[in-house]
Structure 1
Amino acid sequence: MSADRIALKGLRARGRHGVLAAERELGQEFVVDATLFLDTAPAAAGDDLTKTVHYGELAQALTEVVEGEPVDLIETLAQRLAEVCLASELVHKVEVSVHKPAAPIPLPFDDVVVTIERRRA
């Protein structure tokens, strides 16, 4: 398998994910990083967008998930985002991080991040 990667980092979208009622009502910003592992050689050889992942379309699809149906856990959100990335048959592995910088923690902190790695079955 190729070690080529396409990374989309710092994608921001507002969602209503969390276990607290206030999180569901008010929503908050989530930040997504996605790294897709695929072979980019065919796309490069023919300068052909159809042989790679269109990162603009990917960004839109990931944003729709974040802005969509609320879930309790960012682990669940990360799984849904990974499934979107793996929808392209070109992608054989994905690493997704979901950042929740406004998590309801009553202590000073910089960020909460869940990172998952999923492979094509």
Structure 2
Amino acid sequence: MTDELDEITLHGLRAFGYHGVFPHERREGQIFVVDVTLRTDTRAAAASDDLSDTVHYGEVAEAVTSLVTGEPVDLIETLAGRIADALLRFAGVQEVSVTVHKPDAPITVPFDDVTLTITRRRA
């Protein structure tokens, strides 16, 4: 089924959140970066040229940002799962991939980024 779907991707959504297992992460917070890919059929939107026939990526960006800036969680796995669940509630979205970047993760050795990517499908 996914081979018949198109993709809408948002890269690099940035928001400040207080997620993490350490007290200083909850107290000081940090920037999280999120990439999402929505799989949906865009043929109706292409034919009608009407925003109501597709997924409004501005609303997707707001939903993601709201979750990152919202209630803190310990793990980026939990945050990614919440984002995926929210995006699957958008009409027409059949599958979503979510990558959460934690570029300021509390790691004691030099590194560029920590990421977690999940893929979830509509039941």
TM range (shorter): over 0.9
Task: Tell me the TM-score normalized by structure 2.
Answer: 0.96
**Matches of 2:63 and 2:101, distance apart in 1:** 17
Counterpart residue number, 1:16 = 18
Checking the alignment, whether the CA contact within 8 Å between 2:55 and 2:91 is kept in structure 1 is: no
**Matches of 2:14 and 2:59, distance apart in 1:** 15
Counterpart residue number, 2:72 = 70
User: 4+ residue runs of structure 1 moved beyond 2 angstroms?
Assistant: none
Counterpart residue number, 1:108 = 110
In the TM superposition, residue 23 of structure 1 has moved relative to its aligned partner by 0.2
RMSD across aligned positions (CA): 0.7
User: What stretches of structure 1 of length at least 5 have no aligned partner?
Assistant: none
In the TM superposition, residue 51 of structure 1 has moved relative to its aligned partner by 1.1
In the TM superposition, residue 3 of structure 1 has moved relative to its aligned partner by 2.6
User: What stretches of structure 2 of length at least 5 have no aligned partner?
Assistant: none
**Percent of aligned pairs with the same amino acid:** 62
**Matches of 2:97 and 2:18, distance apart in 1:** 22
